[in-house]
Amino acid sequence: MTVSNPTPLTSDADWWRSAVVYQVYVRSFADSNGDGIGDLQGIRERLPYLRDLGIDALWLTPFYTSPMIDGGYDVADYRDVDPMFGTLADFDHMITDAHALGLRIIVDLVPNHTSSAHPWFQAALAAGPGSAERERYLFADGKGEQGELPPNDWESIFGGPAWTRLDDGQWYLHLFDPAQPDLNWRHPQVRAEFEDVLRFWLDRGVDGFRIDVAHGMIKADGLPDVGFNSMTTGQRQSELLGKGRLPYFDQDEVHDIYRAWRPILDSYPGGRMAVAEAWAETPQRLARYIGPDELHQAFSFDFLDATWSADSFRKVVDTALAESTIVGAPTTWVLSNHDRQRHVTRYGDGAEGLRRARAAALLMLALPGCAYVYQGEELGLPEVLDLPDELRQDPAFLRIGESRDGCRVPIPWSGELAPYGFGPEGSELSWLPAPATWRDLSVAAQTGVPGSTLELYRTALRIRRAHPALAITGGITWLETEPGLLAFSRTAGDAVLTCVVNLSGVPALVDGYGEPIVASQALTGQDAGHLLPVDAAAWFERR
Ligand code: BGC
Ligand code: MG
């Protein structure tokens, strides 16, 4: 088959419908100045790597001015770059270079809450109870005789009450850390401010936004109790994420916000998009975030959460495809991100986890729609499970002992010693230590090595770009198989591409699908027919 070079940036307004977006956790991607912290200039220097990998766009996690209590998801200035990551000029250089290489840039927007260091929150603290300044956040008086009890039973996602009391007696709401006060999205100034922030970054050339906690901005009227929490019944309210309704998530009114944003995005040329990090009770409610008058995409966390079985994946894929077809938006697949245990480890860790992760990559990249790749998954990185507690920085670790640091360890680029080329030549610093086993997983160690995970991703992404059956949007055709296998085809004219995944626990005969063009493990049994090993996937082509 023919393989084309990455295409330069075109103004195709629908680029996001089938894009592969690479998530950069800025702090851990590449450090240009040797301070042990990834930065914008580091990203800029590594853009050729991403171009060669074959992705279409980068999503950058927050790099804005921040006290970094929650890794930058606590923003103190939405229009500036934190000195830790560089300057606005660095951003401009980075995006210019990215566009020249044909790569689009998506930035993270954090509208549910600001940092407590944000000038608005500082003004609210100074102005006191009853002030106009407090109306931009969710301040309330407490319950109990002296107002000594929180206004309701809401719980922070990071554990503990979602309310903190100030010395003046009032409480304020923070669905995450106390350093992340929730904004009042019924306040016109809040709405106007974020519309302006959108324009600020659109004017700087960004191609899209990832909307943080997109389901959270509107809280139910009257701030009603949930009815239980870990203090009363031992069940954490966050266990309802994606399964049930909470008065602080997925309220109908939140959609007004996106209906106001969409015309702003549409008023810029080149297909500016937004992807929702949204949690909703059902796939149907999730689909309400996407479509022609709201956001362009919403991550399918059901895909990420699917267990390693054919039934589980098939169900999730069918539901997501059906829902997105109804609303005319692409499906949005994701296996890992900066909040979740890396999928190598989720699928069993070690050799088994890696085998499955590689197969899952071929499954995801063969599906229609958009796919998000989290930095390092192309290297087959596992979760780092044994970070010393004193190095962990996730605020959730201090509150509930859960830490997301293990998926945020800096990327190994090259060399024999940690931090494996994360910083400039000779730099020994990295904000989290990489394990010794990562020497063999570095970009340099895998480049050009047949069968490496990096080369598997490169090959799959190259085929995905070039193959007519994968280039088109549209559905899939499931093929009948033995139990425990997944097999589906995508067709464009005479070209048929079939993806087969073996989750059955025994090698599977895979004849009749055409020529194998990429496999997560080498096929065996050439004489008696092709055998797909356990936990492997392969793509077959017929023209
Ligand atoms: C982000 C997290 C962050 C939280 C609060 C999430 O959905 O992905 O990393 O801690 O929002 O902003
Ligand atoms: Mg740095």
3-state SS assignment for residue 164? strand
Secondary structure letter of residue 239 according to DSSP: G
Task: Please determine, for residue 398, whether its predicted confidence score (pLDDT) is greater than 90.
Answer: no
pLDDT of residue 527: 66
pLDDT of residue 4: 40
- What pLDDT, in 10s, does the model give residues 408-417? 999 999 999 9
> Out of 56, 82, 277, 405, which one is annotated catalytic?
277
- What pLDDT, in 10s, does the model give residues 9-65? 667 999 999 999 999 999 999 999 999 999 999 999 999 999 999 999 999 999 999
**Is 2 or 479 the better-scoring residue by pLDDT?**
479
Residue 472's pLDDT band (boundaries 50, 70, 90)?
confident
Q: pLDDT above 70 covers what percent of the chain? A: 98
3-state helix, strand, coil in the chain (%, to 5): 30, 15, 50
CA of 31 to the centre of ligand 2 (A): 4
Mutate to test the pocket of ligand 1, among 339, 374, 402, 408 (most ligand atoms within 8 A of CB): 339
The CATH 3.90.400.10 domain(s) of the chain lie at: 119-173
> Out of 212, 294, 535, 541, which one is annotated catalytic?
212
| Second-level CATH architecture of 15-112+188-460 | Alpha-Beta Barrel (3.20)
Residue 484: which of 505, 513, 511, 509 has the closest Cα?
505
Q: Give the CATH fold of the 475-542 domain.
A: Immunoglobulin-like (2.60.40)
- What pLDDT, in 10s, does the model give residues 290-302? 999 999 999 999 9
CA of 279 to the centre of ligand 1 (A): 12
Name the residue with the closest Cα to ligand 1, atom 5.
73
Instruction: Find the radius of gyration of the CA atoms of the chain.
Output: 23
Residue 525's pLDDT band (boundaries 50, 70, 90)?
confident
Residue 360: which of 540, 541, 484, 537 has the closest Cα?
537
pLDDT of residue 529: 72
CA of 409 to the centre of ligand 1 (A): 17
Give the closest ligand to the alpha carbon of residue 41: 2
Q: Class for domain 119-173, per CATH?
A: alpha beta
pLDDT of residue 528: 60
- What pLDDT, in 10s, does the model give residues 303-354? 999 999 999 999 999 999 999 999 999 999 999 999 999 999 999 999 999 9
To the query of whether residue 541 is one of the catalytic residues in this protein, the response is no
pLDDT of residue 8: 54
CA of 42 to the centre of ligand 2 (A): 7
pLDDT of residue 10: 65
Task: Please determine, for residue 100, whether its predicted confidence score (pLDDT) is greater than 70.
Answer: yes
Residue 2's pLDDT band (boundaries 50, 70, 90)?
very low
Average pLDDT, rounded, for the chain: 96
pLDDT of residue 9: 66
Task: Please determine, for residue 3, whether its predicted confidence score (pLDDT) is greater than 50.
Answer: no
Task: Please determine, for residue 247, whether its predicted confidence score (pLDDT) is greater than 80.
Answer: yes
pLDDT of residue 6: 42
Q: Which residues surround ligand 2, an ion (CB under 5 A)?
A: 31, 33, 35, 37, 39
The CATH 3.20.20.80 domain(s) of the chain lie at: 15-112+188-460
3-state secondary structure 378-423: HHCCCCCCCCCHHHCCCHHHHHHCCCCHHHCCCCCCCCCCCCCCCC
Residue 51: which of 83, 99, 86 has the closest Cα?
99
Residue 310's contacts (CB-CB under 8 Å, 6 or more residues apart) are 483, 484, 485, 486, 501, 503, 504
The CATH 2.60.40.1180 domain(s) of the chain lie at: 475-542
